[in-house]
Amino acid sequence: MEGRHGKAYFAIAAFSMAVVMDTILELRGVHFAYGSQPVLEGIDLSLKRGEFLGLVGPNGSGKSTLIQLTLGGLSPDQGEVDLFGTPQRRFREWSRIGYVSQKANSFNLGFPATVREVVASGLYGKLGLFRRMTRKNWERVLQAIEQVGLTPYTDRNIGRLSGGQQQRAFIARALVSDPDLLILDEPTVGVDAHSSEQFYDLLLNLHREKGLTLLLVSHDIGAITTYVDRIACLNKQLFFHGKSDEFSLRSQEILTKAYGHKVTVLEHGHQSCSIG
């Protein structure tokens, strides 16, 4: 009996460990406020390995704050944020997370750097600022550039690229360290509709063919429901966290609750807007 019980115990322990390892991001009962102004209230959210999660909500809903809590820029007032099974406050393997910020859309066009150099800068956190790039490192840079379809522009100044091409370069910069999770904060703001569609197609390819786990913050609800597996709808609280097809069926109900008034979603190609 003891032998069987022992085997059962280890089987349960192994299963529990597998579940933890499969969960890349988990927020449990997270509260956060700027001074006396609450921004997030009781957030429970998880992201499993291989998922493509879209985070939507109105301006000021706490989306960017949630991202900063994930990236370690902020700490919750209450609750826990875990990354790869480790509490965020103790997490140190930041090269496992790639990040493309909203500010990438307002890049200084006069910045004197080539696509190759911009992408290579994504390895500095992993290598250390004063370690020299090896031949293998440079090969990885070229691979990342190829992944996003920018090989013909490898030695072109980043400022001479279109907005869509620049975004691809920043994706390559985030990918060069081979992250397990890629986070993108409003990546298509200021990018034309055609470039946005190509951009989303690139993300879908990375997700499906490379198995990359993605967290995408976007106001573009039409694109979100087209490309992602799961959706989280946020406005201080979570109003939905589930499969995208279920969200599509209930979108008017969910968005009306989240925005606080009736919302109609108008779709045009892959662009959408909300009208109250």
Q: Which residue's entry shows tokens 């001479």?
A: 160
- Pairing outcome for strands 23-34 and 86-87: unpaired
Q: What's the rounded Cα separation, in Å, for the pair 197 and 266?
A: 17
pLDDT digits (tens, 9 = 90+) for 145-197: 999 999 999 999 998 888 888 889 999 999 999 999 999 998 877 777 777 88
The first and second tokens of residue 184, run together, are 């993108």
Q: What's the rounded Cα separation, in Å, for the pair 198 and 216?
A: 15
The three-class DSSP label of residue 39 is: strand
- What strand order describes the sheet that includes 86-87? 37-48, 23-34, 78-83, 86-87
The count of residues in the chain is: 276
CB atoms inside a 10 Å sphere around CB 127: 15
Provide the pLDDT for residue 263: 66
Of 236, 218, 253, 241, nearest to 56 by C-alpha is 218
Provide the pLDDT for residue 21: 52
Cβ contacts of residue 1 below 8 Å, gap of 6+? none
Bridge partner list, 48: 23
Of 69, 61, 73, nearest to 25 by C-alpha is 69
pLDDT digits (tens, 9 = 90+) for 98-120: 999 876 655 566 678 999 999 99
Q: What is the pTM of this model?
A: 0.83
Mean pLDDT calculated for residue range 255-275: 63
Mean pLDDT calculated for residue range 76-85: 96
pLDDT digits (tens, 9 = 90+) for 242-252: 999 999 899 88
Q: Name the CATH superfamily, with its identifier, for domain 2-250.
A: P-loop containing nucleotide triphosphate hydrolases (3.40.50.300)
